[in-house]
Structure 1
Amino acid sequence: MKFTKRTLYIILVIVVTIAVDQISKVIVRESIEPRTEVSPGERIPVIGDMFVMMNVENTGAFLGMGSDLNPTLRLIVLLILPIVVLGFVLRHILKDKTIDKWSLFAFASIIGGGIANVYDRIVYGSVTDFFFIDLGGVFRTGIFNMADVSVTAGMFILLFASFKNKKKATITE
C-alpha cells in the first residue's frame, strides 16, 4: 500500500481519535469511583446537573444494548461483526479516491471510535462510559464516552456531506 498524504491523513484521524478516547478512559478509571451493583459510584457535576461525569463499565453496546446476550452471541455481535465492518469501511475509504474531505474525516472518526470501543471490549471485557447530559428532562442522553462522540459526530458529518453532495449533484444536472 502506497502511503499518500490522503492515507496518512486517514491514519492520523483514526490514531488521534483512539488516543483521545483511551486517554480520557484512563483518567476516568483512575480518578472516578465506578458505579457497581452495590455502589452508585461517584457523580462529578461539570455544569450543574446538566453535564455530569461518572464511571460506568458497559458490557453491552450503545446504552447497554446486548449486555444480556449469551457470551457466544455477544462475542459475534459486539466484537467480530464490528471488526469486520470497520475493516470493510477502512478498505473502502482507502481505495475510493472520490470521497470528499468531510466524508473522509467522518469515516475515519467512526473507524477510530469503533476501534477504541472494540479495544476496550477485548482488553477489559467492557467499555468505560463516563459522560451524561440531562437538559432538564427535555434532552437526556445515556452515559457515553469520547469514542461514542467520534462515531456520532462522524455520522452527523456524513449525513450533512451526503445532503451537500446530493444538492451539488442536483444543481449540476
Structure 2
Amino acid sequence: MILKRNLFITLLIVFNIAIDQISKMWVRANFEYGEIKNLIGDKFIMQYVENKGAFLGMGSDMNATLKLILLLILPTLVLGYVIYYIIKNKELDRLSLIAFCCIIGGGIANVFDRITRGEVTDFFFINLGGVFKTGIFNVADLSVTTGMIILLFSGILSKKEKATAS
C-alpha cells in the first residue's frame, strides 16, 4: 500500500515536470523571442519570454546573492519539506495529495529552469478584458496555481465533512 502511494506521488510529480518541460522546449523551438501568436482571438495568447525573476518578473533586478537565496535555495528547501510532509503524512486525503503533487511538480520545474538556464521560460497570457487578465506564465505556474486551488477546495470540503459528522 505504501509503495503504491509513493509511486502515485512520484508519477504525478514527474508528470507535472515533464508536461512543463516539454511545453517550454516546444515554445523555444517554435517561437522567436518575444513572438506573439493568438490562440483564441486576442483573449488567449502565446508570447515567448524569459523571466529572470519570480512571479510576473518580480525580483529580476535583485543582486545575484539575493536571487540565489530567494529563487533557488529557499524554494528548494520548501519543496523538500513539502515532499517529506506528503510522504510522512499518510492521513492526507486523495484530493490534497494531488494538490501537493501539482504544487511540487510545478515548483521543481521552475527551479530546474533557474538552475539549468538561469531564467524561466514563460509563454501563456490571458486577457478577458476588464474581467480577468494575467501576466505571462507557463505550465509549471499553472500546476502550482491549480494545486493551490485544489488544496483550498479540499480544505473547505474537509471542514464541511467534519461539521456534518459532528
Name the TM-score class by shorter chain.
Answer: over 0.9
The answer for the alignment partner of 1:107 in structure 2 is 100
Q: Percent identity?
A: 61
Counterparts of residues 65-144 of structure 1 (less than 5 Å): 65-144=58-137
- Any idea what the Cα deviations from partners look like across 1:141-160, whole Å, max 9, x if unmatched? 00000000000000000000
Q: 2: CA distance between counterparts of 1:97 and 1:133?
A: 38
Q: 2: CA distance between counterparts of 1:75 and 1:136?
A: 36
Q: 2: CA distance between counterparts of 1:136 and 1:171?
A: 41
Which of 144, 152, 156 matches 1:163? 156
1:62 corresponds to 2:55? yes
The answer for the alignment partner of 1:43 in structure 2 is 36
Runs of 4+ in 1 over 3 A off after TM superposition: none
Counterparts of residues 147-158 of structure 1 (less than 5 Å): 147-158=140-151
RMSD value over aligned CA atoms? 1.0
Give the AA of the match of 1:94.
Answer: I
- Any idea what the Cα deviations from partners look like across 1:34-61, whole Å, max 9, x if unmatched? 1xxxxxx210000011001011100011
* Post-superposition offset of 1:3: 5.8
The answer for the alignment partner of 1:14 in structure 2 is 13
Q: Which 10-residue stretch deviates more, 157-166 or 59-68?
A: 59-68
Count of residue correspondences: 166
* Post-superposition offset of 1:68: 1.4
Q: 2: CA distance between counterparts of 1:6 and 1:48?
A: 42
* Post-superposition offset of 1:137: 3.1
Q: Which 10-residue stretch deviates more, 83-92 or 62-71?
A: 62-71
Give the AA of the match of 1:27.
Answer: W
The answer for the alignment partner of 1:38 in structure 2 is none
What secondary structure does 1:4 align onto?
A: helix
Q: 1: CA distance between counterparts of 2:38 and 2:2?
A: 44
* Post-superposition offset of 1:138: 2.1
Q: 2: CA distance between counterparts of 1:111 and 1:81?
A: 14
Give the AA of the match of 1:122.
Answer: I
Q: Normalized against structure 1, the TM-score is what?
A: 0.94
